[in-house]
A = this chain, B = another copy of it.
Amino acid sequence: MSTPAAAAAGPEDNWLRLDSQICFSLQAASRAFNGVYRVILKDLGLTYPQYLVMLVLWEEGELPVKKLGEHLRLDSGTLSPLLKRLESAGLVRRERSARDERSVEVRLTEEGTALRERAVRVPRRIVAATGLDLAEIGELRERLDQLTTALDTAARQEELGDAR
């Protein structure tokens, strides 16, 4: 009872702590990843989200902002300024689609395509930084994807339940 706020530790308090631990651990891991990427991607002049965009473009060739957002689970509010920065860095071009004037096609420039050569060494360093082998990574990834699905579903239901 030395600290007033910590008084009356009931069974609910154990929940309080456990909860903070799982989400906190997750965010800590996410930020730690970000830190490693920051260091490794500095040479390429990319941030981590920009790197993800480039990964998709290197795989898909060219595609509209909408599709890009679906791949990365990001909306235009995040992608528009990000893509502008990539464009002013000379890595991509953005052009209104001729078929559908609402749509903007994002495609790689020569420079953007060339950057791929320097990026292929990144993943190996990242995997090494995790200290895990491929099987462990796959397993963890699967758990996380399940968790994400469960959380997304729950969030939708909470929102509906909140329709007061």
Binding site for B on A (CB under 8 A): 3-6, 12-13, 15-33, 35-40, 42, 48, 52, 55, 57-61, 73, 108, 113, 116, 119-120, 122-132, 134, 137-138, 140-141, 143-148, 150-152, 154-155, 158-159, 162
Q: Are B30 and A145 in contact (CB under 8 A)?
A: no
The residue in A28, A52, A113, A122 that gathers the most chain B C-beta atoms within 10 A of its C-beta is: A28
The complex is assembled from copies of this chain, and their number is: 2
The residue in A23, A58, A152 that gathers the most chain B C-beta atoms within 10 A of its C-beta is: A23
A112's nearest neighbour on chain B, judged by CB, is B5
A71's nearest neighbour on chain B, judged by CB, is B24
CB distance from A99 to the nearest CB of B (A): 18
Q: Are B137 and A33 in contact (CB under 8 A)?
A: no
A14's nearest neighbour on chain B, judged by CB, is B123
Q: Could you say which residues of chain B place their CB within 8 Å of the CB of A26?
A: 26, 29-30, 33, 144
CB distance from A78 to the nearest CB of B (A): 11
Contact of A33 among B5, B52, B151, B162 (CB under 8 A): B151
CB distance from A153 to the nearest CB of B (A): 8
Q: Could you say which residues of chain B place their CB within 8 Å of the CB of A143?
A: 140
The 4 closest A-B pairs by CB, nearest first: A19-B123, A129-B154, A3-B61, A131-B150
